[in-house]
Amino acid sequence: MAQFDIVIHGGRLIDGTGNPWFYGDLAIKDGKIASIGRINPESGQRAISAKGDVVTPGYIDMHTHSDQPLIADGNAESKVRQGVTLDIIGESETVAPLEGALLEEYRLEHRRRNGIETDWSTFTGYFEKVMNGGISINVASGVSPQQVKRVVVGFDERPASAAEREKMNRFVAQAMEEGALGLTAAWHARGPEYPDEVVDMAKVVRRYGGYYGVHLGSEGFDIMEELEKTLRIARESAIPVHVYHLKMRAKSNWGRIRQVIEQIEEARREGIEITANQYPYTAMQHPWRRLFPRWVQDAPLNETISQFKKTAFRERVIKDPEFDQYVNEHGGWEGIVAARVDTESLKPFEGKTIAEIAKMRGQDPLSACFDMIYEEGMFIHGVHHTMSEDDVKTVMRVPWVSIGSDGSALNLKYPGKPHPRSFGTNPRVLGKYTREEKVLQLEDSIRKMTSLPAQVLGLKDRGILKEGYWADVVVFDPDTVADTATYDNPKQYPKGIDYVLVNGTVVIDGGQHTGARPGRVIYGPGKVN
């Protein structure tokens, strides 16, 4: 009888801590790492040769939107082929709680975008749904304070009453007891958010051992004010903070990211536990909804889209200074791309900027933008070219910044031209920024994808090659690993990643997906059994 299930032998091990690589073998049994050292390959039921390759822990993607895609296709092809073994989902919109008008809006959007029926309302319901179909990677989620408030208060922008705040706190407690990792939010300097309410919810999360993840709103002209709001919440609730996709939008802001980094460094010196993540691209992705003033962003879809044909609505939007600011921060009409449209007559405009679309339609960019949304019957998904390569490298060199794609687990049949980050984030760091441009050493690149995110998340048994830890493992060729996805042709899997194991099961075997779905839900520290 073989002593182990799998022995990976002959490779250079990078354990994820930042320590230098060493030659060693890795033995796996019952889903966990059983031994590290010199191990006879014949002691495993299967032996995998890693000669010439590097062996690392599986990559933890700190910020994703794979919630619905994992239900649509549990193989998670675009992620696991990158070496990702754990996706963290959730931001200002999370899979739960869902009730009333918010549930109906969620159903409408995801039925159309992903062909998914939202037949759950709690985290327990979502986790059961995703596991019923099986998944090839692990998944964990946060809970959004904005969403909790919308469930309790509705779409009205007003302070919550004392009774409503108590109900919001109960929803957060329920989410943590169902396994959420923490609070996940988005701050806007000019938005009508109410910090006291978020502080209360953060204190609930802190009691359960969770953290506070946050998108700094505009990430542009107002970013310092947005960061200050976040630091206030950290100070008053004493909760660890993790900033999503740290960057600086708008060409006129390029270089200012150093001010943001220094402010965070100052907060760390003060004793605030704050970290961040980034994706290695100069474009971002989200619906065109974010181009518009907050009163448009926060209104129900079924009351909003029909307004785009009305002159009075358009005039109100155009006169609002937020509209000009947000368009600028998204790269202007020359930087905003229609990445996906579902209306057949609009397909010729897919992959084009609004400036290009306007020219094709014989319109000005404003009219083209408004008309396209109305004709699509939904906010169009966009890719927005708005950041600088120098800023990306500046952020990447910061030791407390991990890697997070802000993408999704997709396959080659996914419609449109999604951001290439869903297919290439991790190999892009390993190939372009590590091997080719030497922005990082290989050991530190791996640390940013493994032990650093595990530390932020409070995971005790993942993120490091260590005996007794779950066997989430990646084997890749350091000389060839690279992303192949581009903005023009994003649906391309990376090269150079030969094997990926999730919980001890081989999912990528010789570069091919086995169809195995050994992924699990990774519950937060407050989970009640």
> Using one digit for the tens of pLDDT, what is the confidence trace for 15-57?
999 999 999 999 999 999 999 999 999 999 999 999 999 999 9
Strands (E), 279-380: 283-287, 336-340
Domain ranges of the chain: 142-243+246-282+387-399, 286-385
Which pLDDT does position 190 carry in this prediction? 57
CB 47 within 8 Å of CB 475: no
As separate numbers, helices (DSSP H) first and strands (DSSP E) second, the chain gives: 19, 20
Which pLDDT does position 529 carry in this prediction? 85
Mean pLDDT in each 10-residue stretch from start to end of the chain (529 residues)?
Answer: 95 98 98 98 98 98 96 97 98 93 86 86 98 98 95 91 97 98 82 83 98 94 94 97 98 97 98 98 96 92 93 98 96 98 97 98 98 97 98 98 98 96 98 98 98 97 98 98 98 98 99 98 96
User: Which DSSP string corresponds to 240-252?
Assistant: -EEESS----SGG
Residue at token pair 């978020």: 198
Query: Which long-range CB contacts under 8 A does 124-131 form with residues at least 24 apart?
Result: 124/178, 124/179, 125/96, 126/67, 126/95, 126/96, 127/178, 127/179, 127/521, 129/71, 130/70, 130/71, 130/74, 130/521, 131/520, 131/521
For residue 520, give both structure tokens: 């699990």
Distance, in Å, from the CA atom of 517 to the CA atom of 523, rounded to the nearest integer, reads 18
**Which residues 6+ apart lie within 8 Å of 529 measured at CB?**
none
Which pLDDT does position 192 carry in this prediction? 53
CB 38 within 8 Å of CB 78: no
User: Which DSSP string corresponds to 420-450?
Assistant: THHHHHHHHIIIIIIIIS-SS-HHHHHHHHT
- Please tell me the pTM assigned to this model: 0.96
> Using one digit for the tens of pLDDT, what is the confidence trace for 243-290?
999 999 999 999 999 999 999 999 999 999 999 999 999 999 999 999
Distance, in Å, from the CA atom of 73 to the CA atom of 65, rounded to the nearest integer, reads 14
Which pLDDT does position 503 carry in this prediction? 99
**Which residues 6+ apart lie within 8 Å of 504 measured at CB?**
5, 6, 28, 29, 30, 31, 32, 470, 471, 518
For residue 333, give both structure tokens: 């009409």
Where does 142-243+246-282+387-399 sit in CATH, by number? 3.20.20.140
Distance, in Å, from the CA atom of 285 to the CA atom of 385, rounded to the nearest integer, reads 9
